[in-house]
Chain A
Amino acid sequence: LAKTTQPISMDSYEGQEVNITCSHNNIATNDYITWYQQFPSQGPRFIIQGYKTKVTNEVASLFIPADRKSSTLSLPRVSLSDTAVYYCLVGGQDTGRRALTFGSGTRLQVQP
């Protein structure tokens, strides 16, 4: 399994753009990059998934460089409700079937 490295914590202010970078040097050819968000005492919530270049949905954007050894989750104009732990996962596209390995994640704190 590809190991991921993320910052332990980040601070931001409301209205700012937040970029969380995940390093995954040993990513395999068939691996996808998936990001989850988790609030205290709740289950993780799927945010976005990508394989290469850029993926955007209504919540976030995911930037993946050509070598795919890292990825950046971009949250536009964060609000207080975006305060959560964000996990970067690397592996098969079907996150439902396989045993997901969640690292320590990045604890994002958004201040007013």
Chain B
Amino acid sequence: KAGVTQTPRYLIKTRGQQVTLSCSPISGHRSVSWYQQTPGQGLQFLFEYFSETQRNKGNFPGRFSGRQFSNSRSEMNVSTLELGDSALYLCASSLEVGSAFFGQGTRLTVV
């Protein structure tokens, strides 16, 4: 069974640009969550989607948004990038009630 797939693995963007990250969950998983990991703040929850609806949201500015498609694939978007947005962005999928399985992440560098 394939795991959670995140694309791209690495990304370099310039301040002010916007970026879209993609996540394909494990087959059959309908819940997708997103996390940001930085050396200073650790792992922080961004949001969680289930059946194309956002169910939970972390404490991040509106520049961070996401969506989920009917096939459970999810994207997150960050607009007006700031240097502080440089981080490892992780996606996790799960069954409606179950353990979270994480992808390998997308390393975003903002210059």
Contact = CB atoms under 8 A, between A and B. Distances in A.
Interface stretch (A7-15, A17-25, A42-50, A58-66): A42-50
Given A42-B104, A43-B4, A43-B105, A97 B92 contact: no
Interface in B83-101: 88, 90-101
A96 interface: yes
B24 interface: no
A98 B56 contact: yes
> Would you call the interface of chain B mostly helix, strand, loop, or mixed?
strand
Report, as a range, how many residues of chain B touch the other chain.
20 to 34
A95 interface: yes
Interface in B55-73: 55-56, 58
A99 B45 CA distance: 6
B31 A102 contact: no
A104 B103 CA distance: 20
B102 A44 contact: yes
Nearest to A49: B99
A96 B102 contact: no
B94 to A, nearest CB: 2
Contacts of A93: 97
A95 B58 contact: no
A103 interface: yes
29 contacts: A34-B99, A41-B88, A42-B102, A42-B104, A42-B105, A43-B4, A43-B92, A43-B102, A44-B43, A44-B102, A46-B100, A46-B101, A49-B99, A93-B97, A94-B98, A96-B33, A96-B93, A96-B94, A96-B98, A96-B100, A97-B33, A97-B48, A97-B94, A97-B97, A98-B56, A99-B33, A99-B45, A99-B58, A103-B42
Interface of A: 34, 41-46, 49, 93-104
